[in-house]
A and B are shown apart, each in its own frame.
Chain A
């Protein structure tokens, strides 16, 4: 199955939720997805198109558009097509369903996106900071408007 068939199959299955699809090359597809049904889309990808390997999941901050994008890069162990799924969330209150039930290893990626961007994952098994100390929660350091030092961790030192 090649990239075009895959993306056709996905858009036929979810005609309202998948938009702006683009086949970049034989092995790269980009698509945008409505955040409400992200778990259904991931489940379909895993079960029907053998996209069983979540390469990574991360956030991108766009303060100009007042949006945060959550990007899922999903590959496969059986074919070499890599699909980039993007869910666009409002910057003031970014919330999205967790995909941990589908991709087990999304757990840490989501914890990291939560602490660095403030994206709240609903129904995540254990949503707490991974790489940052607890008292930096709320700083969202990878957002573009993060001012950096001095921050909360340095408050008691300077």
Chain B
């Protein structure tokens, strides 16, 4: 961004600490009156160097580190990381473990969407919505807690399987929670669609066309809100997704309202997936039989090679590129997060909008700074 300001122009720094921010980053916006002329995103306040840390940890230790890339998507991050190692080492995951993984990852998608939507609603001045979603999210978190033993950073996946089986009575708990969650999602939709003030702030605001979204490299709900049915679960299936029936939720408009609608639909779709899994889940071992893989694989050497494995994160395409040199630690791990291109695309998207709409647009993207900085 050009730092020079003309007459009746000024630069406003939003962040790095600001109530609207999902994490610390700085948005320098050049304004003319109330209109954004130009802007720039500055990153790096919480750069953790996870890619370097992973090079110095054994493969098993890495699982706890990748949890911390983004706490809302801990399980999908683990899936991408563990999937890389499984591809390199040629490990087959037994069906029961695959189903448990799908159940947990879809639960994690639901809770991520609930928090993302609540946060975003409070950005546009709809603070009571945040209270509703955070209440319902708590039920989902309790479900996840009952399986993994942790609320946020689960460290649940293992090479070739999962740490624990589903607890007794899990299916009934899910039934109970989903009955109320379905009603809640319906009521959110009702709240959003019936509120004229909310609609006037979101319909037609921050429109992302399919061409621009593809050019920027966006994936996940912001892309699907533009009408592009791009979903890794469908396009490059992993785990047992090919056996499950689900639709890729798509909207046409590409504005703030459509992005929220996609998340609402996806929550319903995720609940449907989990219910199918609970009906279909077979009995069996959690780890491949006759191998050394288990909850605590002591020292594990992975055959030399390289692999790119990607999964559908709550926010889009999460990919890990892993290079192994045959030792017990990865030689290089590249983490390709979905929010990285999304946040990069914020400046062109907010060009020409009013200041008050910046938070609506940025919030509807459901960004996670922790994942961008890694």
Q: Which residues does A use to contact B, with CB under 8 Å?
A: 27-28, 30, 52-56, 58, 60-61, 71, 73, 77, 80, 82, 84, 103-105, 107-108, 129-133, 141-142, 146
Contact = CB atoms under 8 A, between A and B. Distances in A.
Given A55-B310, A60-B323, A105 B51 contact: no
Contacts of A52: 214-215
Contacts of A71: 321, 334
B317 interface: yes
Given A56-B334, A73-B319, A107-B344, A131 B47 contact: yes
Contacts of B47: 131-132
Contacts of A108: 340-341, 344
B303 interface: no
The bracket for how many chain B residues form the interface is 20 to 34
A133 B52 contact: no
Contact of B317 (A55, A60, A103): A55
Nearest to B344: A108
Main secondary structure of the interface of B (DSSP, over half): mixed
A6 to B, nearest CB: 16
Contacts of B52: 141-142, 146
B16 to A, nearest CB: 13
Interface of B: 43-44, 47, 49, 51-52, 214-217, 228, 230, 235-236, 306, 308, 310, 317, 319, 321, 323, 331-332, 334, 336, 340-341, 344-345, 373-374
Contact of A82 (B216, B306, B308, B334): B308
Given A60-B331, A73-B321, 12 more contacts: A52-B214, A73-B336, A84-B306, A84-B308, A103-B217, A104-B217, A105-B215, A105-B216, A129-B44, A130-B44, A132-B44, A141-B49
Given A53-B214, A60-B332, A27 B236 contact: yes
6 contacts: A53-B217, A130-B43, A131-B44, A131-B47, A131-B374, A142-B52
B244 to A, nearest CB: 18
Nearest to A146: B52
B319 A104 contact: no
Contacts of A61: 332
Contacts of B215: 52, 104-105
B235 A80 contact: yes
B217 A54 contact: yes
Contacts of B310: 55, 82
Nearest to A56: B336
Nearest to B334: A58
A105 B308 contact: no
A55 B230 CA distance: 13
A48 to B, nearest CB: 16
A8 to B, nearest CB: 21
Nearest to B340: A108
A91 to B, nearest CB: 15
Contacts of B332: 60-61
Contacts of A77: 214, 228, 230
Contacts of A103: 217
Contacts of A58: 321, 334
Contacts of B214: 52-53, 77
A107 to B, nearest CB: 7
A58 B216 CA distance: 17
Contacts of A60: 323, 331-332
Given A27-B236, A73-B336, A77-B214, A56 B344 contact: no
A27 B309 CA distance: 11
A31 B317 CA distance: 23
- 8 A-B pairs with least C-beta separation: A105-B217, A56-B336, A131-B44, A131-B47, A58-B334, A105-B341, A80-B236, A80-B235
